[in-house]
Copies of this chain bind each other. A is one copy, B any other.
Amino acid sequence: MDKVTLDQHISRQFNSDLEHLKTQTLAMGGMVEQQLQNAMRALENGDSELALAVLETEKEVDAMEREIDEACTTVIARRQPAATDLRMILAVSRSIRDLERIGDEAQRIAKMAIGLSEEGGSPRGYVEARHIANGVRDSLRGCLDAFTRFDAQAARQTMGKDKQIDLDYRSAVRELITYMMEDPRSISRVMNVLWTLRALERIGDHAKNICEHVIFLVEGKDIRHTSPDG
């Protein structure tokens, strides 16, 4: 093999490595999206079986994170990528960490769903939880779409929506605290709903982080701790 052909071969191989990292990251994203959706459905329908199914997917998600992370390290060490390629690998390595945390929070929601289905009673706070969950689900979809298309603008748009989620979260927390004061017997139940809201808010934060990784990937600057349009 002459030098040029070898270079092309290496480059093709490298591109296929990168493409593979991307595909796997999106597959992992799809898994945690499904976890979130099932955890919320389990909560709303008092479906402990579905909640248990969410808990069982944890190992798969964790294994996937480890696998992608090892692939990232291997690609950096073998191919010694520079500039955009390196940023792409670092963005993957960061994003899968956020995806794994989203999976963890979905697990927490599934556990609350089991607790709440055992306690029974009126689904106070569920409307708010569903509303926030819808916003969070859109954010997660948005960040994965932005990642798929390496689209910094779409990432910024998605990040902008996080503020609304935060506002909704705060208002729901205030409402539930008032409710506990009015009906102290409900405290234990409402606390479970509060932890659920908290988990949803965290998922929104992680989706926002992934948007930041996409912008870092595309534009090469680190935009954490600045405003979305900064």
Contact = CB atoms under 8 A, between A and B. Distances in A.
A1 interface: no
Given A62-B225, A180-B187, 13 more contacts: A59-B225, A62-B224, A65-B225, A66-B222, A66-B224, A73-B86, A73-B90, A76-B76, A77-B82, A94-B97, A177-B188, A180-B180, A184-B184
A67 to B, nearest CB: 10
Interface of A: 59, 62-63, 65-66, 69-70, 73, 76-77, 80, 82-83, 86-87, 90, 93-94, 97, 177, 180-181, 184-185, 187-188, 191, 198, 222, 224-225
B188 A222 contact: no
A62 to B, nearest CB: 4
21 contacts: A59-B225, A62-B225, A65-B224, A66-B222, A66-B224, A66-B225, A70-B222, A73-B86, A73-B87, A73-B90, A76-B76, A77-B82, A77-B86, A80-B80, A90-B93, A177-B187, A177-B188, A180-B187, A181-B185, A184-B184, A184-B187
Nearest to A59: B225
Contacts of A82: 77
A25 to B, nearest CB: 16
A94 B101 CA distance: 14
Nearest to A220: B73
